[in-house]
Structure 1
């Protein structure tokens, strides 16, 4: 099954996220990632949903979303040249002697150390989902104490 990224422009109203997520659930579509935030226009929010399925499933999702009252526009990004990013914060157990080793990995991935305590470090990494996953796997041997990831946010490249 292919992953698909869908951009949904919606009215910034209470319950819109619930209605969109409910549509996915009722239809048996899985949401792998969802991010919501303000858009370029006041009163509107943009949702970026990553889901999986074939082209028929994606077509159904697009049509069903278009029927919701608060949905202004639905755009499939996965078929277009696009930029996508995700953010992760990773709290890693670290012995003082291992700090330089971890710093080297973080620098290689263009990440940042955003907090250091006596026996932990919090690493921030931004990039495509594959880059985030690679960093997580490299941090596992050190002992991940906590991990949090945003969903994917994306935008088509070039002019609208």
Structure 2
């Protein structure tokens, strides 16, 4: 499997996993009646501050841009983790689907939560069990879908 094919297949798996993560998150919001998390936008605000950048526009336009950039960072992490796993697969790392799923889950948790923690937007050490479940469940869905998609791509490629 070429590196490009692995990268693109992994990116597609990451996109599918990101869709699953978002679906589980939105379903939880709908069932529990809870609002969307503001941490992605707060992370963008902090990152812009730390990097001494400016997001242009009037207050309303700037706020809307940040509202778009925040969730977009999650898409970038999701597709990026999948692409990285696809590259590993193309280099010969082919663990069992459960291991791939756990690797994807952990990768997405790290990619999403570490920047927020480092920037002081959140502190997982003070999260309740309910907070952890709300965070881990969508990431597990991500991991399952990424692993299943990579496995499916692997089966298709080997049947040629």
Question: Highest relative contact order (Cα 8 Å, sep 6+), 1 or 2?
Answer: 2
Q: Determine which structure has more spread, i.e. the larger CA radius of gyration.
A: 1
Structure ranking higher in helix proportion: 2
TM-score range, shorter chain: under 0.3
| TM-score (norm: length of structure 1) | 0.24
